[in-house]
């Protein structure tokens, strides 16, 4: 991958290893530690993230909106 993404790009889900379209992917920006200036982006299916995260962590309402537009 050349580092250039657009809505037609496919990305790899970090939880299941399957590809999905960028426009459907959840984007996770992670930092190695609090002092890091550089981040890494990971992608996942929204439902995989919701299933994996501890239920006591509050999530943004957009995680639960209907995806049928």
Q: What is the pLDDT of residue 65?
A: 72
The verdict on residue 31 lying in a domain is: yes
The verdict on residue 25 lying in a domain is: yes
Residue 4 has pLDDT above 60, yes or no: yes
Rounded Cα distance between 16 and 13, Å, is: 6
What domain range is 27 assigned to?
10-64
Residue with the bigger pLDDT between 32 and 63: it is: 32
Cβ proximity of 44 and 34 under 8 Å? no
The verdict on residue 39 lying in a domain is: yes
Domain count, the chain: 1
The verdict on residue 69 lying in a domain is: no
Average pLDDT over all residues of the chain:
87
The verdict on residue 4 lying in a domain is: no
pTM for the full predicted model: 0.76
Residue 61 has pLDDT above 50, yes or no: yes
Q: What is the pLDDT of residue 67?
A: 53
Three-class DSSP category at 63 = helix
The verdict on residue 37 lying in a domain is: yes
The kind and range of the H/E element at 50 are helix 46-52
């Amino acid at each position: 991958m050349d580092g250039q993404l657009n809505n037609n790009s496919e990305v790899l889900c970090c939880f299941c290893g399957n590809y999905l379209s960028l426009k459907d992917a959840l984007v996770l920006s992670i930092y190695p530690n609090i002092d890091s200036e550089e981040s890494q982006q990971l992608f996942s299916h929204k439902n995989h993230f919701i299933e994996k995260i501890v239920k006591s962590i509050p999530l943004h309402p957009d995680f639960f909106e209907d995806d049928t537009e």
